[in-house]
Amino acid sequence: MILVDTCVLLDKFTRDPQWYEWSNRALRQWGDRETLVYNQIIYAELCTGAPNEADLKLKLRLLKRCDLPWEAAWHASRAFLKYLRRGGEKTIALPDFFIGAHAHVENLPLLTRDARRFRTYFPKVRLIAP
């Protein structure tokens, strides 16, 4: 299984001019080899831009749901505190830390184009990134 970060899915859904090609190619390439998954945090982030739930479910039909484990909350909070102590802005939302913690706790590779933060706070997570 590979956890797919929100940004990669948004690139595809919105046909982002800068990232669509990379994200679409990565989704096809890895989707042919592995099961692509998303969690509740990723789903909630995608909901904000979806016209309705039926449309979003249709777009996600080739991916599987993977519940966020409770243990990830602890790891997300520790990484977020570390980020804040290093001078990070409170304006950065906690969801990215939950996504990284989910990949960490379940030892899932993470397909993302935002590798810097994940490398810094979840160095053991295998990243699939440009």
DSSP string for the chain: -EEE-HHHHHHHHHT-TTTHHHHHHHHHHHHTTS-EEE-HHHHHHHHTT-S-HHHHHHHTTTSEE-PPPTHHHHHHHHHHHHHHHTT--TTS-THHHHHHHHHHHTT--EE-S-HHHHHHH-TTS-EE--
Residue 91's pLDDT is what?
67
In the chain, % of residues over pLDDT 70: 98
Range of the domain at 48: 2-128
CATH code: domain of residue 23 = 3.40.50.1010
pTM of the model: 0.91
Are the C-beta atoms of residues 31 and 62 closer than 8 Å to each other? yes
Total domains in the fold of the chain: 1
Tell me the average pLDDT across 89-117. 91
Residue 42's pLDDT is what?
97
pLDDT digits (tens, 9 = 90+) for 40-86: 999 999 999 899 999 999 999 999 999 999 999 999 999 999 999 99
Q: In this structure, which amino acid lies at residue 94? A: L
Tell me the average pLDDT across 22-45. 97
Query: Alpha-carbon torsion 112, 127, 27, 63, what sign?
Result: negative
Residue 58's pLDDT is what?
95
Q: Which of 90, 21, 13, 76 is nearest to 45 (CA)?
A: 13
* Spatial distance between the Cα atoms of 78 and 53, rounded to a whole number of angstroms: 32
**pLDDT reading at 2 higher than 80:** yes
Q: Residue 72 corresponds to which tokens in the numbers above?
A: 């990830």
**pLDDT reading at 89 higher than 90:** no
Q: Residue 33 corresponds to which tokens in the numbers above?
A: 């080899």
Tell me the average pLDDT across 101-128. 96
